[in-house]
Each structure stands twice: as C-alpha cells, then as structure tokens.
Amino acid sequence: MTPDEDSPLPETDARLGRIRFVLTETSLSGNIGAVARAMKNMGLSRMELVRPRRFPDADAVARASGADNLLSAAGVHDDLASALAGCRLVVGSSARLRSVQWPQLDPQQCARTLLDEAAQGDVALVFGRESSGLTNDELGTCHYLAHIPSDPAFSSLNIAAAAQVFAYEIRRTALERGASPSSTQNGQHDSLELLDLATADEMEGFYGHLAQTLTSTGFADPEQSSKLQRRLRRLFNRARPDRTEINILRGILSAAQGRKHPDRFRR
C-alpha cells in the first residue's frame, strides 16, 4: 500500500523528534537554512550545528523559508562529541565511499535503522563539510556510513539536497510503517531495544581512556596509532556495548594502568 504522505504520524512523532541532523563546520549559512526547510517539510525538528562558519544570519533565515523555529532551537557546539551527547546510534553521511571499511547503508536502510533505534532513544545523522565531508576521525564516531548512490560521474550533492533525500526516506518509511512493529535489517532490533546502550559521549570517554591506556602500557605509539584507533572504534561500534559493559571495560583499563591492585580483594 502506498502511504498517504499528508497523513499525520501520531504513533511515530516521538521517533521523529529523537532524530538529530548534525551539520559539521558548514561554510554557507544559507545551507543551514535550506537543511532546516528540508527537515521541517518532513516533520523533523532536531538540528545540531558544529562550529558553523556564520550562524545565525539573514541568509540562513531566508533559505529556511518558514522553518525559522528550527534555526532558533538549533544547538551550536564546539565539537562533534557535544552535538552527539546522549545518542545511542550515529550514522555518518558521505558523498563518497571510503577506503576505510565501514558498515554501509543506502538512504532507505538508513531511514529504517534510525527509526528503529529512535524508538528507544536519541539518534543522529551527521553531515560533513560542503567541500570535504567528514574526516576519518569523525567517521570513527559513527556506527554506519550512509551513501546516496548518485551518478559516479557527478556524485557530489549539495548538503541541503542530501538532507532532503534522507529526510524524505525517514518520513516515507515512518508513514509506510504506521504503528506496526518494525525490525532492523539484521533482525536485532528486538534485542537491542532492551539494552541500555552506551551513548556517543560515553563511548568517546571510553575511547579516550583506551587510547591513554594503550600509550601508557607501551602497546601503541601515540604518534602512529591513528589507524589502530580507527580499527578499535570500528570493533566496539560494531559490538554496541551497553553501559554496564563499558563500565567493566573501563575497569579493566584502569587495572591495566595500575590504578587497581590485586590485594584489594584480600580481607
């Protein structure tokens, strides 16, 4: 059945409200306004901005074309970690496929995954810079990479156009599902929703602790460990640890650093 795109979404409004569009170091404020318009068209409302070059200004308001409330409510952050605080799932949007292997989603799969996870908490779709996209370090914060399969001969989309594609897929998928039960493409939704998964900021704390431990124990050269760090991020992002598991892992790291001693168990 084809969904009626003018229908209200009473059962999915809460999910849409938990989906953040995060824009990283946007150069043109007009693009921020255009993304806000694309989001509001599709019932999305959470915008977070990381170090925008100019914001707010008249260009953003003009391009928003009535989505001014999204601009006024947008969070402005000094770093990506702050913009992702509290998110249980992070997807990065990229105009190009990367040499670093990362789980890939197309726009439809991205919409399904975001909606599934938003049933339980905040999620984010991260857009990179207009000229260069996301850095490898920023990609390391993501569980998945979403790619719009455009013409390889002319693949670069304006950020607002890309946002419109993803926003449309999110709304279309939500309308198609209505209030019916859903599951992710790998069938893990039912089990994941029961877990108190570690949030993006908690994972960043763990990654910082892990990097410190690898250096202090002599396992990794701090000057040459960026590739190792990306691989470890990929490993733990794939595992999706919950908060208890992260606390256990950080306890192990503290023990490896010598902050815990065997005789603490003696009575």
Identify residue 214 by its one-letter amino acid code. L
Tell me the residue range of the domain where 35 lies. Answer: 13-177
Residue 264 included in any domain: no
User: For 5-19, 136-150, 209-223, which range has the lowest pLDDT when averaged over its residues?
Assistant: 5-19
Please compute Rg for the chain using Cα positions.
20
- Residue that terminates a domain, selected from 177, 208, 234: 177
- The strand pair at 104-105 and 123-127 is best described as unpaired
- Residue that terminates a domain, selected from 177, 209, 231: 177
pLDDT tens, residue by residue, 184-221: 444 444 445 557 899 999 998 988 899 898 888 888 88
Judged against a pLDDT cut of 80, whether residue 259 lies above it is answered with no
> What confidence category does residue 183 fall into, taking pLDDT thresholds of 50, 70 and 90?
very low
Same domain, 161 and 203: no
Same domain, 20 and 76: yes
- CATH assignment of the domain containing 64: 3.40.1280.10
Judged against a pLDDT cut of 70, whether residue 99 lies above it is answered with no
> What's the confidence (pLDDT) of residue 187?
43
| Cα–Cα distance for residue pair 169/180, rounded to 1 Å | 17
Provide the number of structural domains found in the chain.
2
- CATH assignment of the domain containing 244: 1.10.8.590
Same domain, 114 and 240: no
User: For 107-111, 210-214, 227-231, which range has the lowest pLDDT when averaged over its residues?
Assistant: 227-231
> What's the confidence (pLDDT) of residue 173?
95
Residues above pLDDT 90, as percent of the chain: 51
User: What's the mean pLDDT when you consider all of the chain?
Assistant: 85
Q: Which residues pair with 127 in a beta bridge?
A: 23, 93
Q: Which residues contact 39 (CB under 8 A, 6 or more apart)?
A: 21, 45, 47, 67, 70, 163, 167
> What's the confidence (pLDDT) of residue 77?
97
Residue 51 included in any domain: yes
> What confidence category does residue 37 fall into, taking pLDDT thresholds of 50, 70 and 90?
very high
Judge contact between 64 and 70, C-beta under 8 A.
Answer: yes
Judge contact between 219 and 256, C-beta under 8 A.
Answer: no
Same domain, 202 and 255: yes
